[in-house]
Structure 1
Amino acid sequence: MQPTFLSVESTETCIRIFRGGTSEPIVEQRAEPGERPYIHPVVAPDGGGVLTENAPPHHPWQHGIYVGLNDVNGVGFWEEGLRNKPTDGSFNPLRLQAIIVGPHYAAWEVETEWLDPNGQPMLVETQAWGLHDHGDRYELDLVWSLRAVTALAFGQYAYGGLFLRMPYRDEFGGQAINSEGRIGGEAEGQRARWVACCMPIEGRADQAGIAFLDHPGNAEHPVPWRVDGQLGISPSRCIAGAWQLAEGEVSTSKYRVLVFCGSTDSDVVNASWQSFASL
């Protein structure tokens, strides 16, 4: 499958990326006022089905591809206040800027203030995304930056960071596998260069999947991973232990999101990781 030319519709709160001749976006970035930014839907590269899920009943605070942390100076940025915890913080996305688009490439940034329970900024998060359309697959590269407005202590926790929620259903199953060959629950909490998930997707006869790739320049690489019971995955530095940022200090991490059709081909994911690792 050859890539086609990309086009974009953009507002201050939403970016929709289209392939030439299609009426539905292949990727959509949301950044609504007062809400966590996220990417959903992500459509399979062959157009057959949506690979992300928004606000599933088992975890209504999860949204396709998103970022969250559980303990930032004791404040939670994971459950979006849906359980009425007095320690939960909130998000203030700034308006989306103009997107850069080429024939098979699109780039954009999402800047968000993370606010404490009193509405005061604790940090400024920047997600700088770059989408490469290769026809039979997409690669979305992320540079994720956190700038501390005040001195911050990030606590050790079982999960947190960049997260993926796919439309997993118990009755249909699916598979998560990491770069070391560990499958499903065996990959939970384990260090790896990447983790890939594939599963049956509504609207297609075969499976499709998404892999997260951890860059070797990131802290704690190869990072420990969250792999939950519904095949949600997250490269989670916080599993390895607590860490800190001084006021004004910036932490930067790089990730690749590989979107593919069919079952996971470790050779394909490894090749993408090798390419990413050289950047």
Structure 2
Amino acid sequence: MKTRRFHFSQMLVLLFTLVISACGGDALLTFETTGGDQLRPLAIITFEADLEKGTYIARDHTGKRADLQVDGDGRATFLMSRALPRATTRWTVRLDQDATSRVEAATRGDAVLIRTDGRDVVAYRTAKERVPREDIPEVYNRDGYLHPVWSPSGRVITDDYPPDHIHHHGIWAAWTNTIFQGRTPDFWNMGRASGRVEVVALDSMWSGVAHAGLNARHRYVDMIEEEVTALNEAWHLKVYRTPTDLNILDLSLTQIVATGDTLILPEYRYGGVGVRGHRDWVGEEGTEFFTSEGLTRENGHATRAHWCHIGGIVDGERVGIAVLSHPDNHESPQPMRIHPTEPFFNFAPTQAGQFEITSEEQTTWKYRFVTYDGAYDQDLLDALWEDYANPLTVHIVR
């Protein structure tokens, strides 16, 4: 009888432990998420957490696991699949003792390569390499941009130094029509030798279970007379560990004038963050454009949209990239430059009229890029934009 009582007592203790664990009794943190008005196939959730920097495991009430990453500033991030409309999910968080980075950022020559689960996603060019062809003047040499950008299957989506526009570089940023100290430097069309954008420093990079990324600084140099830095720009790039059929990266640019002056940006048809698609997509029929408003290359230029798909054929298969513009951006939803014959796209706020960047207040631009294989899915892109624009909120239980 004593043996039976002993075993019965053990079972009671074990049952009590399991119940407490299921209720989050030994959890470091318990929180709840609530879905939006529509189904979200994928939700990227970030919130303030009273946790040390590190890697954790979050589990919902069914035991489903999500890898949770906490940065040094206490920002926690995890990805949730199939966030049901208006459904509340309770999560418990525990330390992951055996974590290994699933998204990695590492230096590869004159670039930072970011990979997720062994798949190349994007490379950031940290330094000027030798120009790739002898016919390219040295004035076009540049750094501080993203190329290659890969689809999930490993096909390259972007182009660099294309023959028809040597100053196009994967995903890059520059202003075209500007006024600074009475001069008119053009930081976009580098062949004019009136302005350039260059890397100042790669400040940091990181790897993790939910995301990897980097922080870098650029400067816009007015070259018309004596060289002077007109604009300072900070890049914050983050790449998420997503399902194998999608790659998602966020790019945030913060700009401020380097002197006590103002950088005036008169109305113009392009400028800001540009995307140059694969070289095989050149020509009227080579590139497919489709906007969140249902418009195409034929009627989408100079209209406004939340997102735009750019796609074509690479190595015999269809691939695409969608550019999602955050609603906090100036002139949101922003007007677009959709080129009639080239695989070039640009959310162009200067189409809406002149505006200014000053030395007293930072100006921030935020974009999310989604790459995929196959045809674009309008419903999926709508849902991904909604999640970018209105991320799910988190309620801390304890």
Per the normalisation by structure 2, the TM-score is 0.64
1:126–1:145 contact (8 Å) kept in structure 2: yes
| 1:155 CA drift (Å) | 1.3
Equivalent in the alignment of 1:31 = 126
User: Which of 251, 264, 269 matches 2:363?
Assistant: 251
**Map of 1:131 onto structure 2:** 239
**Deviation string, structure 1 residues 17-59 (Cα, Å, up to 9, x no partner):** 234456xx43110021572411111111122x11111111111
Count of aligned pairs:
268
Name the CA distance, whole Å, in 2 between partners of 1:183 and 1:125. 32
**Do structure 1's residue 198 and structure 2's residue 311 form an aligned pair?**
yes
13-22 or 113-122, which deviates more: 13-22
5 Å-filtered alignment, 1:192-231, equals 192-202=305-315, 205-228=316-339, 229-231=341-343
CA deviations 1:160-189 (Å, max 9, x no partner) are 111111111339623101010001131111
1:111-147 deviations in whole A, cap 9, x for unaligned?
1011111321101011111111312111111111111
Tell me, yes or no, if structure 1 residue 7 matches structure 2 residue 120.
no
Q: Which runs of 4+ in 1 moved over 6 A?
A: none
Question: CA deviation digits over 1:193-220, x for unaligned, max 9?
Answer: 1111110012xx4201001111111111
| 1:67 aligned residue | 173
Q: Which has the higher helix share?
A: 2
Structure 1 residue corresponding to 2:205, chosen from 99, 111, 125: 99
Q: 1:89 aligns with which of 188, 192, 195?
A: 195
Q: TM-score, normalised by structure 1?
A: 0.89
Task: Tell me the distance in 1 between the aligned counterparts of 2:118 and 2:388.
Answer: 30
Distance in 1 between residues matched to 2:151 and 2:252, nearest whole Å: 23
* Aligned residues of 1:12 and 1:96 also touching (Cα < 8 A): no
Q: Which runs of 5+ in 2 are unaligned?
A: 1-78, 80-100, 129-140, 392-398
Q: Deviations over 1:65-98 (max 9, x none)?
A: 1111112212101122x2xx25x21223112123
Residues 1:76 and 2:175 aligned together = no
- Partner residue, 2:348: 236
| Match of residue 45 from structure 1 | 152
| Identity of matched residues, % | 26
User: For residues 41 and 245 of structure 1, what CA distance do their matches in structure 2 show?
Assistant: 30
1:104 to partner: Cα distance: 4.0
Alpha carbons 1:72, 1:155 under 8 Å: kept:
yes
Larger Rg: 2
Residue 165 of structure 2: SS of its match in structure 1?
A: coil
Assess, with a 3 A threshold, how the Cα gap between structure 1 residues 13 and 126 changes in structure 2: closer, same or farther. farther
CA separation in 1, counterparts of 2:355 and 2:240?
A: 32
Give 1:263's match in structure 2, choosing from 375, 380, 398.
Answer: 375
Residues 148 and 245 in structure 1, CA contact (< 8 A), matched pair in contact too: yes
Aligned mates of 1:189, 1:170 — CA distance in 2: 20
